[in-house]
Homo-oligomer: A and B are copies of this chain.
Amino acid sequence: MIDFQTSPDRYRHWKVSFEGRVATLAMDVDEAGGLSRDYELKLNSYDLAVDIELYDAVQRLRFEHPEVSAVILTSAKERVFCAGANIKMLTVADYGLTVNFCKFTNETRNAIEDASANSGQHYIAAINGSCAAGGYELALATDYIVMVDDGNTSVSLPELPLLAVLPGTGGLTRLVDKRRVRSDRADFFCTTEEGIRGKRAVEWRLVDAVVPRPRLFEMAMSKAAEFCRQSPRPAQARGLMLRQLGRRSETDRLLYRNLTVEFDRGRGVAHIIVHGPQTPISVGSSALEGIDDSFWPLALARELDDAILHLRFNEDRVGTWVFHTQGERRLVEQYDQLLLDNQDNWLVREIIHYLKRMFKRLEVSARSLFALIEPGACFTGTLLELALAADRAYMLDGIREGREEEPARVGLTGMNFGALPKCNGLARLENRFLADPDHVKMIRQQLGHDIDAKRAAELGLVGFIPDEIDWDDEVRLALEARAAFSSDALSGLEASLRFAGPETLETKIFGRLSAWQNWIFQRPNAVGENGALKLYGTGKRPAFDTRRV
């Protein structure tokens, strides 16, 4: 089982240090610390184990270190910054693991960009040696790239010439869309194994500056100081510690404090039951005093984040995730209101952004998403986003016989109107009603209302409202039908339907670049017996099928 939980005291691959408001994340990969014994992580190459730690560090910098306004990303090795994803790992990993590894590393790079865009925590890459492939893609995720100007240090994306695959961890998209490198130069750069160094790298916009080796950290620190001066991060606040999640694994269940995952593996379904808040909260900002990582919205974000990753990597035959909620809608409203009222508080902002990132991770997961809204549920505000993110939402119209709960209601809070945007930058309601923006305004007028099934269907918040008589059959048939479809076709369908409207760097990476990369990772030219990826390091030359399709 791949576990995504870690903490700094367990890191094997990264050194984190602090100097005032500047943190340094130094990559120092332990060759023997990969997920598998099949390869050694030489030259600061990485596998998922390395990236799990990076993701953890990036999260903790936001929550545990409110004072940190600039992060210098560099290497603790001599003469090598990072050689990218370990190639042996790519050749031995199973296809699903490769695809999901790429997706997760992309998400971690997006998290770096999210810290910079929304938290004033800016990243600087200080490139102190060869920076190739995924290593340069990591640098591309930062705000500022400074590189040593010597004969040994270059940036490169040699995936295509060396391995017959793409720089698929966002590299191509970041090159032309984020750094706006001219496409003809990008073409040359991506087809040139040895990469580009020195002034030409600056002129081509591949890096922001080059400096003599002895001045690298001085330059990085000077840029960091500049970022710190502009940053809204609170220099004096106390961080919030993210403790290990209390997760328990049973054969057919995964239990968190606010979340239970129940597996129905025979049907390819995981039921994800989200528990609403257990205790009321006072409305004033005093409610925020002394909160810790058990604070419901934060704990929920962390637990769902972990569950999504667990399901992606460890339960690949579970193709459908079915969301349920249980709890008091009023309490969800209270927590939402507390968050919305205190957005000037750095920690509240961080929690909202974390919820946002968790929902984004949900929607780029290659799984069918269902929501079942039954009596006793609390799909309101933040939790309503689960239903809005779902490919299908069913709401039971009326009561369930023999049960005492009132008919289900859903409700809206301010969290549904822009605080938790999708990868394409739109609120889920905006995305849903692209055809009729006025309808979103109309829905806004329902804030605070108790919305029953018929009204929810009229408003377009849910798709299907069977009553007690039809509910069990209709839901069962829908889930069985889903399980009977081709898993690949569903992944392509869902990725195509979930993001209408505007495009962003993120949708381009997950929609376009990843699709091409997934395709290429299937092609014999890369992964066949005589493919470049398979033969890498053997000294044999690949034999390509030259046909263009």
Contact = CB atoms under 8 A, between A and B. Distances in A.
A24 interface: no
A199 interface: no
Nearest to A514: B515
Given A177-B500, A549-B100, A544 B487 contact: yes
Interface stretch (A29-37, A242-250, A519-527): A519-527
A496 B515 contact: no
Number of copies: 2
A436 to B, nearest CB: 8
Residue in A316, A508, A548 whose Cβ sees the most chain B Cβ within 10 Å: A548
A183 B498 contact: yes
Nearest to A431: B183
Interface residues of A, number: 90
A525 B95 CA distance: 15
Nearest to A159: B489
Given A172-B497, A177-B500, A463-B188, A526 B316 contact: no
A317 B175 CA distance: 29
A185 interface: yes
Nearest to A491: B548
A185 B546 contact: no
Interface string A307-321: 000000000111100
Interface string A473-508: 000000001111111111111111110111100001
B188 A392 contact: yes
Contacts of A460: 182
A58 interface: no
A94 to B, nearest CB: 9
Contacts of A80: none
Given A205-B435, A491-B549, A492-B517, A525 B486 contact: yes
A522 B522 contact: yes
B166 A493 contact: yes
A295 interface: no
A367 interface: yes
A12 interface: no
A418 interface: no
Contacts of A520: 486, 488-489, 492
A114 interface: no
Contacts of A182: 432-433, 435, 460, 463
